[in-house]
Amino acid sequence: MGESAPAPRRGRPPIPLERIVEAALEIVAEEGAGALSLRHLARRLSSSTSTLYRHVENRSALLGLVVDALLAEALPADRRTDLPWDEECRDIAERLFATLVGHRGAAALLAETVPTGPHALAIREHQLAVLTGAGVPLPDAARAVATLAHTVLGFAMQAAVPADQQPAPAALAGVDAGRFPLTREIAAELPIPIEEEFAFGLDLILEGLRRQVEGVTSPSAP
């Protein structure tokens, strides 16, 4: 009686998308966005790149997956959407900022890609609808959405810089008070917490949008 044929080798079990995203964010938090690769991620998951290819075909696709998961976390489907247009814009920006700050290094991922996942597109569409519904022309609404996104991203990336690598504003206290009196005077107030700077910048943007909306919706002068 002949020997039976060996049983076919089974591939590695699939990895849940949630675990892939979690492991990717762990790498980014510990080593920076530049360290994220399919090979490194496979090692972190005790798996293989071929197993990851079942979900993502390359690093760009991986970035898109992780970024869209972050946006879903920042803006869950059950959040309030009955706010006035300007408070809705504020709510979205603050939620995104808090999420990116909460995931160390994650802001750098958004700087590498244009988010086109389902949550990213839904957020963009919603923001455009909110602004155009308030009377902002669509081209200006698109610019406003981009400005808000870049503001969130820039402040979140600054917040990710370790304290010992931050510029030392105390050096401004030594400038010539005769030539730079205002700089010397304000030096004692620095550094301003990044959260306060973000809130101040967001206020400026929203105030500018309010003025535009008021100018569009106010009755024409006789």
Residue 33 has pLDDT above 70, yes or no: yes
Cis peptide before 191 (omega within 30 of 0): yes
Same fold, 12-57 and 69-216: no
Residue 221 has pLDDT above 50, yes or no: no
Residue whose pair of structure tokens reads 């990336």 in the numeric block: 157
Residue range 12-57 forms a domain whose CATH class is: mainly alpha
Helix (H, G, I), strand (E, B) or coil at 219: coil
pLDDT at 190: 80
Question: What is the per-residue pLDDT across 80-109, written as a single tens digit (0 to 9) for each?
Answer: 778 999 999 999 999 999 999 999 999 999
Rounded CA-CA distance 8/5 in Å is: 9
Provide the CATH topology of domain 69-216. Tetracycline Repressor; domain 2 (1.10.357)
Question: What is the per-residue pLDDT across 146-200, written as a single tens digit (0 to 9) for each?
Answer: 999 999 999 999 988 776 666 667 777 788 889 999 988 888 888 888 999 999 9
Q: What ranges do the domains of the chain cover?
A: 12-57, 69-216
pLDDT at 173: 77
Computed over its alpha carbons, how large is the radius of gyration of the chain? 24
- Cα of first residue to Cα of last residue in the chain, in angstroms, is 105
Q: What is the mean pLDDT of the chain?
A: 87
